[in-house]
Amino acid sequence: MLAFKRILLKLSGEALAGDKGFGVETSRIHAIAAEIKDVSDLGVEIALVVGGGNFFRGVAEQARDMDRVSADHMGMLATVINSLALQDALEKQGVHTRVMSALEMNQVAEPFIRRRALRHMEKGRVVIFAGGTGNPYFSTDTAASLRAMEIKADVIMKATKVNGIYDADPKLVSTATMIESISYLDVLKRGLRVMDATAISLCQENSLPIVIFNLNVHGNIKRVVTGEKVGSLVTA
């Protein structure tokens, strides 16, 4: 029994880098692709938004002396690199995939057209949204929220390195406890770094639930989709 029929899965660029921390680790990306295939085989319509932090991040130390707009555009191009890598890994698994970019680059990706994206998903193709929102000053979290609204997704599933939302950084505070369910307002009030404030506000206005879960636990994507209690849920 499926809890969600149409999902938007948000992956960080770092997730594709695996233990290397930079670039794309092939074994990691193929493992992620295999999990996505399992979920696709259940009949779930899947869209993906992937970050670019494994190559370049507009707000990172390496971009400190750069113009923010130029740095953000570099970050958007990094998401296109990741999207193409993910498309290749998915197609090796036999999953029909389309990359749709907010930045026009017709040789490598389709332009993002909402109705076309919906049509791809209805036909069972996995759609990867690249290039963020196409605008500087917006994160890929915000792009994920925006695209999820546009395709009328049932949920945003944000893949992380930890099991869910904690009241403190679990890497730094040994007594940090996981929060199983929380409201959008509490996330914003407590300054919990789930997604950025713009992304959370967008989800709040449109009552779109967010599930934060650990991507490093094999099978978690499928567990969330089939309604098992995994990770943390952000709702109204």
Evaluate whether residue 35 is within a structural domain. Answer: yes
In a domain, 22, yes or no: yes
**Structural domains of the chain, count:** 1
210-214 and 232-235: which strand pairing?
antiparallel
The DSSP annotation for 29-79 comes to HHHHHHHHHHHHHTT-EEEEEE--TTT--TTSGGGTTS-HHHHHHHHHHHH
pLDDT tens per residue, range 13-26: 999 998 888 999 99
d(CA 144, CA 129): 8
Mean pLDDT of 191-216: 93
Banded pLDDT at 172 (limits 50, 70, 90): confident
CB 177 within 8 A of CB 166: yes
Within-domain flag for 1? no
Q: In terms of C-beta density within 10 A (0-12 exposed, 13-18 middle, 19 or more buried), how is residue 61 classed? A: exposed
Handedness of CA 109, 111, 115, 117 (dihedral sign): positive
pLDDT confidence of residue 197: 93
- For 80-89, write each residue's pLDDT tens digit: 999 999 999 9
Q: How many CB atoms lie within 10 A of CB 76?
A: 25
Does the pTM of the predicted model rise above 0.85?
Answer: yes
Q: Is residue 133 situated within a structural domain?
A: yes
Residue ranges making up the domain that contains 28: 6-235
Q: In sequence order, which residues have a C-beta less than 8 Å from that of residue 78 and are 6 or more positions away?
A: 13, 52, 53, 54, 55, 56, 57
d(CA 1, CA 184): 27
Please list, in sequence order, all residues whose beta carbon lies within 8 angstroms of the beta carbon of residue 104, skipping any fewer than 6 positions away: 111
Any domain includes 230 = yes
Q: How many CB atoms lie within 10 A of CB 170?
A: 16
* DSSP letter (8 states) at residue 148: H
Digit-coded pLDDT (tens) for 115-124:
999 999 999 9
pLDDT digits (tens, 9 = 90+) for 34-78: 999 999 999 999 999 999 999 988 777 877 889 999 999 999 999
Q: Cα(76)–Cα(52) distance, rounded to whole angstroms? A: 7
Say if 180 falls within a structural domain. yes
DSSP state, 149? H
**80 touches 108 (CB < 8 A):** yes
Q: Which residue has the tokens 């695996």?
A: 18
**CATH number where 146 lies:** 3.40.1160.10
